C-alpha cells in the first residue's frame, strides 16, 4: 500500500492496466498561490495566474514547476524561476523572505502564515490528486484499516473529496 499523488490528467494507474495495482482516489488538493504578506494581490479572494506574469517563482516540487509552466502558457506568460526545490515548507520560507511567489497544494500550506498571504487560484485551477495505491491481490487487514482511516480523516477536511 502506498499513499501517492499525481497532478492534472488521469490517475497514474487506470482500470484494466496490467500493473497489478489499483488507484483509489482519496482527495482533490487544489493549488494555492503563496505571496509575501505585503504583495499587491494578497487581499484578493482569488487570483488569476495571468495576474502573476512578471513575478519570480519559487518551486516547492519539480512536478509543480512543470505544471506551472503549462498553466502559465495557457495564461499567456512565461515563468521566471527564482528557485527550484523539493520542499513546500522551504519554498514558503523563501516566499516569506521575498525571493518570489509560489504555487503550493492546499494540504502543504504551513500552519504559521506569518509573513505570508495564501490565495486560491481562479479557474482554471490546477490541482493535486491524492490516492491510495494497492496491489490487486488480497488487501491485508491492517492495510484495509489504514485505508478506511484515511478516507474517514479526509472526509473531515475542508477539501474536495475525490
101-105 and 56-59 beta bridge pairing: parallel
13-17, 29-33, 60-64, 128-132, range with the lowest pLDDT = 13-17
Report whether pLDDT(73) > 90: yes
pLDDT of residue 15: 66
Report whether pLDDT(83) > 80: yes
Report whether pLDDT(81) > 80: yes
9-13, 73-77, 150-154, range with the lowest pLDDT = 9-13
DSSP string, the chain: -EEEEE-SSS-SS-TT-SSSEEEEEEEEEEEEEEEETT-TTTT-S-B-GGGGTT-EEEESSHHHHHHHHHHHHHHT---EEEEE-S-HHHHHHHHHTTS-EEEEEGGGS-S--TTEEEEEBPSSPPEEEEEEEEESSPPPHHHHHHHHHHHHHHHTSSSEE-
Report whether pLDDT(162) > 60: no
**Residues 94-135 pLDDT 10s:** 999 999 999 999 999 987 778 999 999 999 889 999 998 888
Rounded Cα–Cα distance for residues 69 and 29 (Å): 19
Backbone angles phi, psi at 153, to 5 degrees: -65, -45
Report whether pLDDT(62) > 80: yes
Report whether pLDDT(63) > 90: no
Which H, E and C letters describe 39-83, residue by residue? CCCCCCCCECHHHHCCCEEEECCHHHHHHHHHHHHHHCCCCEEEE
pLDDT of residue 156: 74
pLDDT of residue 159: 64
pTM for the predicted model, two decimal places: 0.84
Amino acid at each position: 500500500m502506498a499513499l501517492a499523488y499525481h497532478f492534472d490528467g488521469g490517475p497514474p494507474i487506470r482500470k484494466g492496466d496490467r500493473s497489478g495495482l489499483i488507484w483509489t482516489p482519496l482527495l482533490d488538493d487544489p493549488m494555492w498561490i503563496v505571496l509575501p504578506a505585503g504583495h499587491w494581490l494578497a487581499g484578493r479572494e482569488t487570483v488569476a495566474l495571468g495576474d502573476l506574469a512578471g513575478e519570480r517563482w519559487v518551486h516547492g516540487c519539480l512536478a509543480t514547476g512543470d505544471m506551472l509552466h503549462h498553466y502559465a502558457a495557457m495564461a499567456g506568460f512565461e515563468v521566471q524561476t527564482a528557485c527550484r526545490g523539493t520542499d513546500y515548507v522551504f519554498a514558503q520560507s523563501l516566499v516569506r523572505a521575498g525571493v518570489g511567489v509560489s504555487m503550493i497544494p492546499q494540504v502543504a500550506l504551513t500552519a504559521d502564515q506569518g509573513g505570508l498571504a495564501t490565495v486560491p487560484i481562479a479557474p482554471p485551477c490546477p490541482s493535486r490528486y491524492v490516492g491510495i495505491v494497492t496491489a490487486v491481490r488480497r488487501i491485508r487487514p491492517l492495510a484495509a484499516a489504514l485505508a478506511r482511516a484515511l478516507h474517514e480523516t479526509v472526509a473531515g477536511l475542508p477539501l474536495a473529496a475525490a
